Amino acid sequence: MGSRTADDHRTAMQQALDLAKKSPPKPSNFRVGAILVKLDGDRYPTSAGGYTLECPGNTHAEECCLLKLAEHHCTTEEGLAEAMKSPHALYTTMEPCFKRLSGKLPCVERVLRQKSWIRQVYVGVQEPETFVGKNPGRQMLEESGIEVHHVAGLEEEILQVATAGHVSDCGS
């Protein structure tokens, strides 16, 4: 595995942020973008990308990445653990959720099901406590052997994009 520079990580996070901007602004979710990047070899090609509400249903960015990658490999999301042989990193503008108010599988659990090939997670910002409170997702990933890293430099823009469509308490 080659080594990536801070600029490489920022470029990948910018790609995820560009995807987040495609997500429709709504008061009930964060606009998040995510990409899966292959780690072996001299180049780091993106295997899949996704953003909040890209796929049908109440879908999160990480979920969309995995669903699209599964479709590409003619398998299910659950089948990716067997289909994927190369190590990957997940870049996501906001740390993966640990709880879904909709009752769907949280993104942390989705990543943990793929820990045989998702070895690293890079996040732009921590999840604000807006919907489900404090997110222990980073700790859950690290305790399962997945490296989690913060990519600095885009936090303000990520939060601005993520919260577009949220109702402000100012002036109420």
Q: Which residues have a catalytic role annotated? A: 62
Residue 161 C-beta-side C-alpha neighbours within 13 Å: 23
The sign of the torsion formed by the CA atoms of 10, 60, 68, 111 equals positive
Element (H, E) at 51: strand 46-51
List alpha helices for the chain, DSSP H: 6-20, 61-72, 80-83, 107-113, 137-143, 155-162
